[in-house]
A and B are shown apart, each in its own frame.
Chain A
Amino acid sequence: MSFNHQQSAHCESGVMSSLLTHAGLPMSEPMAFGLSSALAFAYLPLVKLSGMPLIAYRMPPKHIIKTLSKRLGVRLHTATFSSPKQGQEALDRALDQGRLVGLQSSVFWLPYFPPEMRFHFNAHNLLAYGREGDEYLLSDPVFEEPVRCSAEALQKARFAKGALAAKGLLYWLDDVPAEQDWHALVRRSILSTARILDGMPLPWIGIRGIDHLANKINRLDLNAKKYNRLYLTHIVRMQEEIGTGGAGFRFMYASFLQEAGVLLADEQLQAAAQELTHIGDQWRQFALLCVKQSRGKDAGLGMQPIAQALQVIAQQERALFKELVLWAKQRK
C-alpha cells in the first residue's frame, strides 16, 4: 500500500486526517480537529488520575472519529472483540484487503514509546498500513516517522484492560464523499464548540470550568507545598504533555479558524484565529507560572497571580466565542 505518514500533534485528529486524506479527501489535522468540534475544557474532580482530578482540554476519546465521520457523511466501520485472537485475525484480514486501519491501544504497552512517555492511557489511536513477517507497519501520528511493532506487543496494547479499554477496537472509513459543503460544516462546528465552551449549565465544563479551576488554585493551602507542586504540574501535563499542539489545543484550533477563513475567504475568521493565538500564548504563560511557583521561584507571590491569569483567559475565550456565534448566526 502506498501511504504517506504524517506527524500530528494529537493522535485522534492525526489518525482522521490521515484516513481522510488517504481516501481522497485531503484534510489537515487542524481541520479534522475543528470540524469535529473537539475543542473543550473540563475539570472533572470525580475522575482521578493518580489522585488528581482529570483536566481535559478537548472532548472525550472517540469524539473526533465519530463526529467527523457523521458530519462528512462518511461510513465509519468499527469493530471490537471479546477475544484477542479474533481481533488479530480481523486486523490481518483488513490489511490483506489493502485497507488502512485505525486502531485504539494503550500507550504503556507500545514498545516504541520511550519509557519517559509511557503512561496508562488506553485511548491512544494509531494506523496500521501493513505487515512484514511478525511485525506490523504502523503510522503512529505523534511520531516523526513510521514505526514497527511486534505482533505480540501490539496485541497486549490493543487488549490492555482498565479504564477506556480498547477491546481491540479497529476502524476504517468507507464511501468518503469528495464533495463537501464547507461553509455549512465550518458554521455548524463552530456553533457546536461555542455551545460546549459557553453553553453548559455545569460548573466544571467549558469556560465555567476554567473559572472553577482558577478558584481551586486560589484556594490551595500554601503550606501544602508538595501537594501544590504535584497539582500545578499535573495541570501543565494535561495541557501540554499529552499531544495538544501547544496551549491545550488552542493553537490547533486557531490554525483551523485560519484555514477555514482562507477556504471561505472570510476575514472575520482570520481575525478570530489571531485572537485565539493571543489567548493560546497566555495559556503557555499560565503553564510557566505554574512551573515557576512549583519550583519555588515565585513562592512569595502565592497563588493569586496564577489564578488571575486563568480568569483573564476565561474572559477572553468567552468574548471570542460570543463573536464567533454572532458570525455563525449572520451567515445562515
Chain B
Amino acid sequence: MKLDDVPQDADTSSYAGHSKLLYAIDQQGQYQGAQSTGWDAESYATQQALAELELLEQQALQSWHSGQSSPLPCLMYRYRMDELALAQTTGLWRWRVRRHFKSQVFARLSPSLLARYADAFDLPVEQLIAYQQGALHEL
C-alpha cells in the first residue's frame, strides 16, 4: 500500500475521531507508519457486527418485557457478550446461564448468583434485584 492509498474515510469512520496506525510505502518504496482516519470497508464490517448485537438486544428486550424471558439475555447483548462469554465471565456452566434466561428461574435466583451477573455487567446488584422484583427500567 502506498502512502497516497492509506484510506482517510473520516466520514464513515468507526474510530470515533481517532486515527489508527497502518504501514505503507513512500515514493521510493520505503516503509513508514501512516495514520488513517478510517476505511469504508472496515467500518462497514464493524457496523454489521454492532447492528446485529443491537437487533439481538431489541429482540431480547421485547421477550423480557412480554414475560417470555429474564432480563439477562437483553443485558448480555447490551454488554456485547454472547452465551459463551457470559458463562466464562460469571464462571457458570453454560446450561445454568441458559436456565437463568427463563423468567421463572430468574425470579428465584439467590443474591449471590445475582451478584455474579452484576459483576459481569458492572451493574449494582440492587439493579438486578429490582429487575427480579419486576422493574423494567434502570433504577
Contacts and interface: CB of A to CB of B under 8 A. Distances in A.
Interface of A: 7-9, 29-30, 48, 50-51, 108-109, 114-120, 142-144, 156, 160-163, 229-230, 233-234, 236-237, 240-241, 243, 245-247, 251-252, 254-255, 258-259, 273-274, 277, 280-281, 284, 287-288, 290-291, 294-295
24 contacts: A7-B21, A9-B20, A9-B21, A29-B33, A30-B31, A50-B49, A50-B52, A116-B46, A117-B16, A163-B85, A163-B88, A233-B49, A234-B45, A236-B42, A236-B45, A240-B42, A241-B45, A241-B46, A243-B20, A251-B31, A254-B23, A290-B45, A291-B40, A294-B45
B136 interface: no
Contacts of A245: 21-23
A163 B15 CA distance: 25
Interface stretch (B65-73, B76-84, B95-103, B127-135): B76-84
**What 8 pairs across the A-B complex have the smallest Cβ distances?**
A114-B16, A255-B31, A233-B45, A236-B45, A251-B23, A162-B89, A162-B88, A246-B22
Contacts of B82: 48, 50-51
Contacts of B81: 120
Contact of A120 (B22, B24, B80, B91): B80
B115 interface: no
A258 B32 CA distance: 11
Nearest to B6: A246
Main secondary structure of the interface of A (DSSP, over half): helix
Given A50-B52, A119-B80, A295-B44, 10 more contacts: A108-B79, A116-B15, A118-B80, A233-B45, A236-B42, A237-B42, A251-B24, A259-B31, A273-B31, A294-B45
B22 A294 contact: no
Contacts of B22: 9, 245-246, 251
A318 to B, nearest CB: 22
A48 B38 CA distance: 27
Interface residues of B, number: 43
A230 B49 contact: yes
B32 to A, nearest CB: 8
Nearest to B86: A162
B75 to A, nearest CB: 14
Given A50-B82, A117-B15, A294-B48, A288 B41 contact: yes
A293 B6 CA distance: 22
Contacts of B29: 274
A47 B16 CA distance: 29
Nearest to A120: B85
Contacts of A50: 49, 52-53, 82
A284 B1 CA distance: 9
Nearest to A235: B45
A63 B89 CA distance: 24
B1 A251 contact: yes
A9 B122 contact: no
Of B18, B29, B35, most buried by chain A (CB within 10 Å of CB) is: B18
Q: Which residue, B24, B33, B90, has most C-beta atoms of chain A within 10 A?
A: B33
A144 B41 contact: no
Nearest to A254: B31
B110 interface: no
Interface centre among B31, B50, B52 (most CB of A within 10 A): B31
Contact of A143 (B18, B46, B80, B119): B18
B71 to A, nearest CB: 19
User: In the complex, which of the residues A51, A118, A119, A143 has the most CB atoms of chain B within 10 Å of its own CB atom?
Assistant: A119
B90 to A, nearest CB: 8
Nearest to A270: B29
A124 B1 CA distance: 26
Interface string B26-39: 00011101010001
B19 interface: yes
A237 to B, nearest CB: 5
